Amino acid sequence: MREETIVIKKMSRRNFTRKLVAAPLAIAGGQMLGAQIAALPSQDKRKPKTDAEYNRHPPIVEPDPFSAPLTFTRREVNPKVRPFALDQVLLDAGPMQQARNLNRAYMMRLSNDRLLHNFRVTAGIASAVEPLGGWESPKAELRGHFVGHYLSACALLYASTGDSQVKQKADDLVGGIAECQTALAAGGYVSAFPEELFVRLDRREKVWAPFYTLHKIMAGMVDMNTLAGNAQALDVAKNLAGWVDRWTSERTEEHMQEILKTEFGGMNDVLYNLAAVTNDDRWVNTGDRFTKKSFFTPLAMRRDELKGLHANTHMPQVIGAARRYDLSSDHRFGDVSEFFWDTVTETRTYAPGGSANTESWLTNSGRLALEMKASSHHQECCCSYNMMKLSRMLYGRSADPRYIDYYERNLLNHRLGTMEPETGHTSYFLSMTPGAWKTTCTEDQTFWCCTGSALEEFAKLNDTIYYHDEANIYVNLFVPSRLHWESRGIRLQQSTRFPENNRTLITVHAARGEVWTMYVRIPVWTTEENQISINGFHLPTPGTPGSYVALKRQWKSGDRVELSLPMQLSVEILPDDPSQQAFLYGPLVLAGQFPRGELSFDLQHNQAPEPGELPPFELPNLVPGGRSLSEWIKPAAGQPLTFRVTGQEQSIELKPLNQSWERFTVYWSVS
């Protein structure tokens, strides 16, 4: 070990929380002792004190954080760490690069004329192509939403890879929509459906989600400007935002709060982003009209009142809250975003990282076993996409590795696990019903919300691997990749076959001989036997799982950091039924494999079959027989990441959920 290497272990937030919880317990014990003394007979004839009498102070009535009209002052939060620009991180060969390429191939197979068809028809421009189907069909009230996602995905992909074909295709699409905006001459309005849907929204008549769709189109345009340098896209976005500003300003706040009961995506988020891009606070004020106070108020007061809410309607609003906090330092919005993340990830998340059932939260927090039985529509993919997006924003504020632990869990199990490995088609739900299978979209007859968010997801798989502060680098994910930090003159290359292999090698290819720190994430799932070496010299102590190890030294070209992160089997139970158990190996959720058999086209490509539609399936109960996990779940010889459950009535194979395309089971009844 060289002398200049200094190892600093940070206390993870998880450990910090554990220490904190000890203090209030002591106080509670004191109160209990007092109550027992008061209840003793004969020595004191007075009645025992009531709860109210014990309280020296009456409960404090907390002020409603959103009762007053919102005002905005720009006071940006200084993040602790920032992501690298997308073109600074390149993916090398591996599962991430493969998923990105499959996604690109699917994107390039969709013609611009078909994507533009409904926009042109709405604007009175001739279009004779075959329309797309599903949620993009000419009668679907969400039509146009996918085109917005498509633009964002193109922008992300171009920014990541410099792919000129993608850029040209997206530029043409922006031009096509701009042409429709001009032809409509409707005060900046442009969409693939007429303004009539907003008339119905205004009257509170039945309509799908018109603002949701505008959000996707505006976000696509803002992304095309900021990530792909398209100036016309910013004009389209500002014109459309102007229409939104006028429409919303003409309504009372009470009426807007009624309108916000209909899904509106991340209208607040995109308007805040537009304000940041244009440095024009007008768009913040417009965005603030999309503050759904009945949703934000309990969150800001740290109360989980999510039961009964549609999950993906509300997650983008929280992303908007996080953005509002970042722009203004207004702690109310910070509280909303942080408490929401805490309660969803800690009490409403299944093992693969997803949340919700039938797109909604059906129970109070911590009732996942109860909720899971209600249907087989678990873990909508958009929800994971949005929660990962929120995680990145919160991580930037704190550099707390628990956000990355959650991100990685979702990325490996949920997101990579829902892309069909031949076509690049993706899923709507990731069902946790025993014996479920993955259903995927079709080539051009589906276009779920999740088809659109997946397009974006797989266009930016390079975005969280590394972060930085002023001078230092955070290595977060174990992905074959290259980082080039031009302004600091630093190049890194990460070589790994993770997760098939639990080692990774980071080589410094260029450095100016300056002292800086490489913060290497020691994931929460590894063991105390993890090892780090620099140029072959092992550090004397392992890293603490759930923290970073700080490697501070004068880095020079050719320095090699090797990381060994042993994986172990672990169990995760559903909080309201400990007999319902999922098994993991390291960060990978394991799934029992059962033959898929013949399935109809509809069952393969529907959103997800309901339990009653599932072909018969008998889930065996598992009986450990008092053995430790590693004694009854054993590695399968010659098959990496594969295990056999031994000593049961039938032989059961477990392999990673992200490789499971047969019928599978994640949660087992264990007795």
How many residues touch Zn ion under the rule CB under 5 A: the total is: 4
Least distance between Zn ion and beta carbon 233 (Å):
24
Q: How far apart are CA 367 and CA 390, in angstroms?
A: 23
Cβ closest to Zn ion, residue 70 vs residue 107: 107
Q: Where are the alpha helices (DSSP H) in 55-191?
A: 95-109, 112-123, 145-161, 164-184
- The answer to whether 390 and 341 are in contact (CB under 8 A) is yes
Q: How far apart are CA 12 and CA 523, in angstroms?
A: 11
Closest C-alpha among 397, 307, 389, 316 to residue 343: 307
Least distance between Zn ion and beta carbon 265 (Å):
11
The two three-digit tokens of residue 165, written as one number: 């074909």
449 lines the binding site for Zn ion (CB under 5 A):
yes
Cβ closest to Zn ion, residue 245 vs residue 359: 359
Cβ closest to Zn ion, residue 284 vs residue 455: 455
Least distance between Zn ion and beta carbon 612 (Å):
23
- Which phi-psi region, left, alpha or beta, contains residue 340 (left: φ > 0; alpha: ψ -120 to 50)? alpha
Cβ closest to Zn ion, residue 211 vs residue 516: 211
- The answer to whether 257 and 293 are in contact (CB under 8 A) is yes
Rounded to 10 deg, the angle between the 145-161 and 210-228 helix axes is: 20
Q: How far apart are CA 589 and CA 607, in angstroms?
A: 22
Cβ closest to Zn ion, residue 318 vs residue 382: 382
Least distance between Zn ion and beta carbon 316 (Å):
11
Reduced DSSP (H G I as helix, E B as strand, rest coil) percent helix, strand, coil of the chain, to 5: 40, 15, 40
Cβ closest to Zn ion, residue 216 vs residue 409: 216
Cβ closest to Zn ion, residue 208 vs residue 585: 208
Least distance between Zn ion and beta carbon 58 (Å):
46
- The answer to whether 403 and 338 are in contact (CB under 8 A) is no
Q: Which amino acid is at 280?
A: D
Extended strands (E) in 395-529: 466-468, 473-475, 481-485, 490-496, 503-510, 515-522
Cβ closest to Zn ion, residue 491 vs residue 605: 605
In this chain, which of 450, 532, 588, 622 binds Zn ion, going by CB under 5 A?
A: 450
Least distance between Zn ion and beta carbon 450 (Å):
3
Task: Tell me the sheet residues that pair with 492.
Answer: 483, 508
Cβ closest to Zn ion, residue 441 vs residue 584: 441
Q: What is the sign, positive or negative, of the torsion defined by CA atoms of 77, 83, 85, 88?
A: positive
Cβ closest to Zn ion, residue 396 vs residue 417: 417
Q: How far apart are CA 426 and CA 443, in angstroms?
A: 10
Site string for Zn ion, 336-375 (x = CB under 5 A): ----------------------------------------
Cβ closest to Zn ion, residue 233 vs residue 454: 454
Least distance between Zn ion and beta carbon 445 (Å):
17
The piece of 251-259, 342-350, 450-458, 537-545 that touches Zn ion (CB under 5 A) is 450-458
Least distance between Zn ion and beta carbon 351 (Å):
20
Q: How far apart are CA 445 and CA 439, in angstroms?
A: 14
Site string for Zn ion, 474-513 (x = CB under 5 A): ----------------------------------------
Looking only at the bridges linking them, the beta strands covering 560-564 and 503-510 are: antiparallel
The piece of 5-13, 348-356, 415-423, 449-457 that touches Zn ion (CB under 5 A) is 449-457
Q: How far is CA 311 from CA 135, 293, 383, 415, in A?
A: 19, 16, 7, 17
Cβ closest to Zn ion, residue 96 vs residue 382: 382
- The answer to whether 316 and 214 are in contact (CB under 8 A) is no
The piece of 32-40, 194-202, 448-456, 627-635 that touches Zn ion (CB under 5 A) is 448-456
44: three-class secondary structure by DSSP: coil
Q: How far apart are CA 546 and CA 543, in angstroms?
A: 9
The C-alpha R_g of the chain, in whole angstroms, comes to: 26
HEC secondary structure over 629-644: HHHHEEECCCCCCCEE
Cβ closest to Zn ion, residue 230 vs residue 375: 375
Cβ closest to Zn ion, residue 245 vs residue 380: 380
The piece of 11-19, 142-150, 231-239, 445-453 that touches Zn ion (CB under 5 A) is 445-453
Using CB under 5 A as the binding rule, the residues of this chain from 209 to 268 that contact Zn ion are none
Cβ closest to Zn ion, residue 166 vs residue 318: 318
Estimate to the nearest angstrom the gap between the alpha carbon of 613 and the chain centroid.
29
Least distance between Zn ion and beta carbon 192 (Å):
18
Least distance between Zn ion and beta carbon 448 (Å):
6
Using CB under 5 A as the binding rule, the residues of this chain from 571 to 630 that contact Zn ion are none
The two three-digit tokens of residue 492, written as one number: 């890194």
Q: Which secondary-structure segment (H or E) carries 483?
A: strand 481-485
Site string for Zn ion, 77-116 (x = CB under 5 A): ----------------------------------------
The two three-digit tokens of residue 363, written as one number: 């129970």
The two three-digit tokens of residue 255, written as one number: 């009426």
Residue 186: phi and psi, rounded to 5, are -120, 45
Least distance between Zn ion and beta carbon 427 (Å):
9
Least distance between Zn ion and beta carbon 452 (Å):
8
Q: How far apart are CA 370 and CA 376, in angstroms?
A: 12
Least distance between Zn ion and beta carbon 324 (Å):
24
Task: Tell me the sheet residues that pair with 90.
Answer: 482
Least distance between Zn ion and beta carbon 429 (Å):
9
Q: What is the sign, positive or negative, of the torsion defined by CA atoms of 588, 591, 595, 596?
A: negative
Cβ closest to Zn ion, residue 146 vs residue 498: 146
Least distance between Zn ion and beta carbon 287 (Å):
22
Using CB under 5 A as the binding rule, the residues of this chain from 368 to 427 that contact Zn ion are 380, 382
Output the residue with the shortest Cβ distance to Zn ion.
Answer: 382
Closest C-alpha among 204, 334, 301 to residue 257: 204
Least distance between Zn ion and beta carbon 383 (Å):
7
Binding residues vs Zn ion (CB under 5 A): 380, 382, 449-450
